[in-house]
């Protein structure tokens, strides 16, 4: 809605996508990446939002002790994978956040990079940035219900991603790709 209502449009097209089947092997994103509407070579970046409406809360599985409280993460946001292929995409995300939104970026969930839809685009050498507010005890459980969503935080994440998308969509140059997927260190299997 923000892009459609803004009378000023970015110079590049923006494609909005929703995927299904992430937990079953990233089926939807994998299908699109292998069968794109527009050639992958023309895609300048993939900006991923997943689980952006909660405050991270970490509970030790063995002891049940809360090691990171939700109220301590009201302003935290994980920026994942943004340096893997493009330092300039990462720098754009950081600069826009610092100038306009003000999240405290965290970089301690990089392992999540390999398990969400954006990785299918990175595998096609498309720079990615994954915005994620972190795990919580209700992750993938039926008690992860709507009243637990922090809607103001969700709106701030959406504003940040909108601003990044507009910036890179209207820039003279696409984000510089520093490396290819084959050069990205791969996760070791446990």
Q: Ranked by mean pLDDT, which of 8-22, 63-77, 79-93 comes out on top?
A: 79-93
pTM summary value? 0.90
Handedness of CA 15, 17, 22, 28 (dihedral sign): negative
**Is pLDDT at 190 greater than 60 in this prediction?**
no
Residues 79-123 have pLDDT tens digits of 999 999 999 999 999 999 999 999 999 998 888 888 888 999 999
Handedness of CA 113, 118, 122, 128 (dihedral sign): negative
In the chain, DSSP finds a helix count (H) and a strand count (E) of 5, 6
């Amino acid at each position: 809605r923000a892009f459609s209502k803004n009378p000023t449009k970015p110079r590049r097209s923006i494609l909005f996508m929703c995927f299904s089947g992430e937990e079953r092997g990233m089926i939807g994103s994998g299908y699109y990446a292998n069968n794109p509407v527009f050639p992958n070579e023309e895609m300048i970046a993939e900006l991923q939002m997943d689980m952006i409406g909660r405050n991270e809360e970490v509970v030790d599985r063995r002891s049940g002790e809360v090691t990171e409280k939700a109220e301590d993460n009201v302003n935290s946001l994980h920026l994942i994978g943004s340096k893997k292929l493009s330092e300039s995409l990462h720098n754009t995300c950081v600069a826009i956040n610092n100038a306009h939104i003000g999240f405290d970026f965290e970089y301690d969930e990089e392992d999540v990079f390999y398990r969400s839809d954006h990785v299918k685009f990175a595998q096609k050498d498309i720079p990615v940035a994954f915005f994620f507010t972190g795990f919580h005890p209700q992750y993938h459980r039926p008690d992860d219900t709507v009243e637990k969503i922090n809607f103001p935080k969700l709106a701030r994440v959406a504003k940040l991603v909108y601003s990044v998308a507009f910036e890179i969509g209207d820039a003279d140059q696409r984000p510089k790709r520093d490396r290819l997927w084959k050069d990205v260190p791969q996760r070791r299997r446990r």
